[in-house]
C-alpha cells in the first residue's frame, strides 16, 4: 500500500538464520502527522490576533500612563513572550515538515558579523563578547535556518550568563576536515543530569530562570532540528558555576572554500 510505513528489524537467530521482523507503524506515523498539523495550525491561527494585540500594546508608552505603568509594562512583556513562543512553534513546525533544505553557500563572514551585532544588542554591554574566525571557510546549507540555530545559542549564552561574563563565538577548523561553530560562555552552567534532555521541547533546567530571561523552552530543539537537517551534531559541555560550550559540528562535505574577492590593486 502506498501510505503504509513499516519498521524493520533484523535479529540474529542462529549461525545462518536471521529473523526479519516487520512492524506496521502507519497508524503511529499518521498520529504523529496529526499532532504536527495541529500544532502548526494552532500557531498559525494565534499569530494574527497576537500581532494585533501586541502591536497596539506596544504603541502605549507606560511613562505617559502613570496609573497604569506597572500593568502596562507587564502586559507588553507577556505579549512579547507569547509572540516569541508562537514564532518558535511555527519555526519548529516548518523544520519538521522539511526533509531537505536549500543548498546554498552560507557566507560565514557575514554570518559571524550578524551574530556579533545581535549579541551586542542583546547584551547591552553587560558582557564581553568576542568573535573568532579561525576556520576561514563557508558552509553549504540554509542561511536562514543556520542563522536561527546559531542565534539561539548566542542568545542563550547571554541570557544564562550574569553581567560581567564573557561570551565567545568561535568558528573553528576540526582535525577531520570539518568545522564547528562554538558558543562559549562563563555563565551559570548546566548540571550534568540535565544534559541528555536539554534539547527536548519545553525542557528547562530552571523554569523561573528561563521565564525571567524571556525563554520559550524551544530554542535548543530548534537548534537540534536545524543541525539534523544539515547532518551536523550538537556537542555540549558544561560545568555549574563555570559556564557552557555549545558546539555545532559540521562534516567536511558541508565545507566550501571562501570566495576570494580581488580588490582593484590586487588584479
Ligand atoms: P529557553 O528558551 O528556556 O532558554 P532552550 O531550549 O533554549 O530554552 O534551552 C533549554 C534550557 O537549557 C534552558 O531553559 C536553560 O535551562 C538551559 N540552557 C540553555 N543554554 C544555556 C547556557 N548557555 N547556559 C546555561 N543554561 C543553558
Q: Is 160's C-beta closer than 6 angstroms to any atom of ligand 1?
A: yes
- Average pLDDT, 10 consecutive residues per value, the chain (267 residues): 87 94 92 91 93 93 90 93 93 89 94 97 97 97 96 96 97 97 97 94 82 84 96 97 97 90 54
Q: Are 153 and 183 in contact (CB under 8 A)?
A: yes
Pocket test for ligand 1, best of 80, 184, 189, 198 (most atoms within 8 A of CB): 198
Is 205 close to ligand 1, i.e. is its CB under 6 Å away?
A: yes
Tell which one of 160, 169, 183, 221 to mutate to probe ligand 1, the residue whose CB is within 8 A of the most ligand atoms: 160
Rounded to whole angstroms, how far apart are CA atoms 146 and 124? 24
DSSP assigned state of 74 = H
Going 205 to 161 to 142 to 46, the CA torsion angle's sign is positive
pLDDT of residue 215: 81
Per-residue pLDDT, 3 = 78
pLDDT value at residue 216: 87
Confidence (pTM): 0.86
Q: C-alpha cell of 30?
A: 499518521
Cβ count within 10 A of residue 91: 21
**Backbone angles phi and psi of 204, in degrees to 5:** -135, 145
Residue pair 138/205 in contact (Cβ under 8 Å)? The answer is no
Strand-by-strand arrangement of the 179-185 sheet: 128-133, 166-173, 179-185, 243-250, 233-239
141 neighbors 108 (Cβ within 8 angstroms): no
The phi and psi torsions of 129 (rounded to 5 degrees) equal -115, 130
Amino acid at each position: 500500500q502506498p501510505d503504509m510505513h513499516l519498521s524493520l528489524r533484523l535479529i540474529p537467530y542462529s549461525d545462518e538464520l536471521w529473523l526479519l521482523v516487520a512492524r506496521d507503524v502507519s497508524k503511529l506515523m499518521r498520529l504523529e502527522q496529526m499532532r504536527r498539523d495541529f500544532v502548526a495550525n494552532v500557531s498559525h491561527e494565534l499569530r494574527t490576533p497576537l500581532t494585533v494585540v501586541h502591536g497596539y500594546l506596544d504603541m502605549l508608552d507606560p511613562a505617559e500612563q502613570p496609573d497604569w505603568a506597572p500593568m502596562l509594562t507587564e502586559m507588553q512583556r507577556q505579549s512579547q513572550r507569547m509572540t516569541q513562543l508562537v514564532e518558535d512553534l511555527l519555526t519548529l513546525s516548518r523544520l519538521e515538515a522539511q526533509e531537505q533544505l536549500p543548498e546554498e553557500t552560507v557566507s560565514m563572514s557575514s554570518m559571524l558579523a550578524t551574530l556579533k551585532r545581535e549579541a551586542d544588542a542583546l547584551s547591552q554591554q553587560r558582557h564581553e563578547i568576542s568573535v573568532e574566525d579561525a576556520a576561514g571557510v563557508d558552509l553549504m546549507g540554509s542561511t536562514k535556518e543556520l542563522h536561527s540555530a546559531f542565534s539561539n545559542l548566542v542568545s542563550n549564552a547571554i541570557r544564562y550568563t550574569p553581567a560581567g561574563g564573557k561570551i565567545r563565538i568561535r568558528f573553528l577548523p576540526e582535525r577531520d576536515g570539518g568545522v564547528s561553530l562554538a558558543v562559549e560562555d562563563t555563565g551559570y552552567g548546566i548540571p550534568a543530569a540535565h544534559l541528555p534532555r536539554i534539547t527536548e521541547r519545553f525542557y528547562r533546567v530552571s523554569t523561573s530562570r528561563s521565564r525571567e530571561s524571556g525563554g520559550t523552552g524551544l530554542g535548543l530543539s530548534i537548534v537540534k532540528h536545524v543541525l539534523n537537517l544539515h547532518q551536523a551534531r550538537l556537542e555540549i559541555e558544561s560545568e555549574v558555576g563555570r559556564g557552557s560550550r555549545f558546539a555545532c559540528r559540521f562534516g567536511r562535505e558541508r565545507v566550501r572554500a571562501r570566495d576570494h574577492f580581488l580588490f582593484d590593486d590586487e588584479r
